[in-house]
Structure 1
Amino acid sequence: MTRDLFRKRGFAEGHILSHWPDIIGEELAEFSAPERLVHPRRIREGSGPQGAATLEIRVDGPIALEIKHLEPQIIERINGYYGYSSVSRLKLTQGPLPPKPRPRRRAIRTLAPDERAALNESLEPIAEPELKDALTRLGERILGRTSGGKP
């Protein structure tokens, strides 16, 4: 579904988008996002791109100066990640980043009386109250997220 959008932005696939934090590190990825991969023009049809591409990155705030300073290392990490020289330079655009998706919390249902009784019975041998409470909460979440506690 997203393949056409990725191709329009120069990405053959969305791999660099989904693995951006792995490639450049969590600290830099928090304030940057790859936007487009611009390949050089072809000399003649069918000859393929001549040389590596320019990666356009949107950066938020003053991190742009640090990314510009680290450009050779970032390019080396990108090319090392893919195993070939795919990017030759970075082009930075300052501006707000798209909002990061928040992880969804699963709805936890309340346990049926027989499930609660089985959980309490299985935790009965535990004498330490804090450990027993923690395991009870864990058991409620595990059993409550799926039907019958089976994944």
Structure 2
Amino acid sequence: MWIMPEDKLPEYKRRNRAVSVADALAGAIDPVLRKRGFASRDIISHWSLIAPAPFNETTLPEKLSWPRASNNADGATLVLRCAPGQALFAQHEAPAIAAAVNRYFGYVLVRDVRLSAEPFTPGSGRKVQKQHKPSPDAIARVGAQTERVEDETLREALRVLGLALSSKTERNNG
């Protein structure tokens, strides 16, 4: 029986590989974005780089409305959510916003910019994390579990991890 040399064996592909959260959620997010007119999530995920200041912080793309004609060379209408008090300024600078989007993609993607009636609150997606102090019991328990580790940096890393996990468990249970 002939056996293939090890250097000629095909590389085994793992099926249980670790994937990023973005890759795992892509299958769920992409169909929703397609319904909103976006071919990919680039315009949303890179909006802070695409839009000129201050619109990168005061506006957010909601959808792209494509014309019904078969020739889409004219571009789409970009609908933006705008922070309160910024609508007039954003509407006035709509040609500059469209030009910035088209410059980023390298072709005429956006022909017109309209504002949505839905409000956008800048920073509403950011969640402030409260610092949770672990209980003395958790500190003692984690310290006892990590005291036998000889490497000081590893012991400290394990202690921090253990305290973080124990505080998460305490918040969920209590």
Please say if residues 61 and 95 of structure 1, whose CA atoms lie closer than 8 Å, have aligned partners that are also in contact: no
Deviation by residue 1:95-130 (Cα, 9 ceiling, x = unmatched):
42273143779x9995623559724xxxxxxxxxxx
Secondary structure of the equivalent of 1:30?
Answer: helix
User: In the superposition, relative to structure 1, how do residues 117 and 13 fare at CA in structure 2: closer, same or farther (>3 Å)?
Assistant: closer
Over aligned residues, Cα RMSD in angstroms? 3.4
Q: TM-score if structure 1 supplies the norm length?
A: 0.64
Partner of 2:59: 32
User: In the superposition, relative to structure 1, how do residues 92 and 116 fare at CA in structure 2: closer, same or farther (>3 Å)?
Assistant: farther
Partner of 2:147: 113
Give every structure 1 segment of 4 or more consecutive aligned residues whose post-TM-superposition deviation is greater than 4 Å. 107-111, 114-117, 139-143
Structure 2 distance, partners of 1:70, 1:114, is: 63
Partner of 2:86: 63
User: In the superposition, relative to structure 1, how do residues 94 and 81 fare at CA in structure 2: closer, same or farther (>3 Å)?
Assistant: same
Q: TM-score if structure 2 supplies the norm length?
A: 0.57
Identity of aligned residues (%): 28
User: In the superposition, relative to structure 1, how do residues 141 and 97 fare at CA in structure 2: closer, same or farther (>3 Å)?
Assistant: farther
- Structure 2: unaligned runs, 5 residues or longer: 1-27, 163-174
Structure 2 distance, partners of 1:70, 1:141, is: 50
Partner of 2:77: 54
Structure 2 distance, partners of 1:56, 1:75, is: 11
Counterparts of 1:9-48 in structure 2 under 5 Å?
9-25=36-52, 27-43=54-70, 48=71
User: In the superposition, relative to structure 1, how do residues 115 and 67 fare at CA in structure 2: closer, same or farther (>3 Å)?
Assistant: farther
Give the alignment partner of residue 112 of structure 2, picking from 62, 72, 89.
89
